[in-house]
Amino acid sequence: VAAAAAAALVPNTASSEGPKQQPTDPAADLLERLGQALACLLDLPVRRRPIRSVGGLDATVVGSPRLSVLCCSRPSQVVDQVLTAYCAATHFPERDLLVMCTRNTSWEAVTNLLLRWRASTHPELYCLAGVECLSFEVQKQCAAFVRGTLQQGSLTSPLLLVGVGENQHLLSQFVAHRVSPEPLPKKSLCRLTTELQHFCPSHVYTSKRAGTGKTFHVALAAAEHSLGYHHLPCHKSASLLETRLGSVPATVEKGVGEQADRARLLLHLDLYDTVGSDLDRQLFELVFSSGLFDPVGGWPVLAFGRHFERLAIEVASGPLGARLRVSQLLPVSDVA
């Protein structure tokens, strides 16, 4: 596929017999060849990781086959409702189907998701979650795009909008499409994350009091799996987490480099009690989407298999664990 795309970008310089043709516009010719190259990418397979541990859900749990709007009362419910919806779709959420919004989510990222939804030819569940993090202007643009798409006619795939509170502009524009499904119980969601270990091995280490040896147990786990070890402390907001994680690949490559492949690494994400609940969205992307990606450029900042092989999340003792829903659903070791 890559060779075909590259060949499509090479200008055709072969001479042809017969009368000379009028010279074409170089810009138009370049755009045509670029389109041919992009068409070659349509044959690339997309990743769909099936869910087998949680079954028996109605496939119409999302609601309307075109658009569904779901209002949550607290941020932790966003994670539960998104996972419940994809359990009904029988596969884990993927980056091309889901945008979990943060304060750094750009209009471009939202637009790309909506364009994929509008142009989809196979039934897929597209989801824009955490819309309360989007600015009013972005919500306004998004509402106009969705309204215009709905007016165009039939759609192949449904779109699910999820946010906290009923006073969000985007959600209030589509009141007629509101649904109120019951999320899966925590026990079922924990079974789901246990199944996820096959794709993205992740484990939480916590304790009721400080100084019980959580960091030692993480380092011991790295040794047991014959992995390198990298400690990444995080003590501020989700936006700082993205900045800090941006330096990890270079650090990992420098530290492991000649001794082993970068993927042969256990990443120790050490969460201090000063981080906010908005970090939960970053953890969701890191765990369920197999990596953390730049909110503007879309390139992988930190990805399973590329930068590390296993993830260990150390949650500080105290109330932090109650604020991070993702850490409550993952396999956990309570270090005495």
Would strands 300-303 and 291-293 be described as parallel, antiparallel, or unpaired? antiparallel
In whole angstroms, what is the distance from residue 134 CA to residue 131 CA? Answer: 5
CB 155 within 8 A of CB 122: no
Q: Digits of tens for pLDDT over the chain (336 positions)?
A: 455 555 655 665 554 455 555 556 888 888 888 887 777 766 777 888 888 877 655 444 555 678 999 999 998 899 999 999 999 888 999 989 999 998 878 889 999 999 999 999 888 999 999 999 999 999 999 999 999 999 987 889 999 999 998 889 999 999 999 998 889 999 999 998 999 998 889 999 999 888 889 999 999 999 999 999 988 888 876 544 555 555 555 555 444 444 444 568 999 999 988 887 778 888 998 899 888 777 666 677 778 877 889 999 999 888 888 889 999 999 999 987
pTM over 0.75: yes
Token output for 91: 């596969």
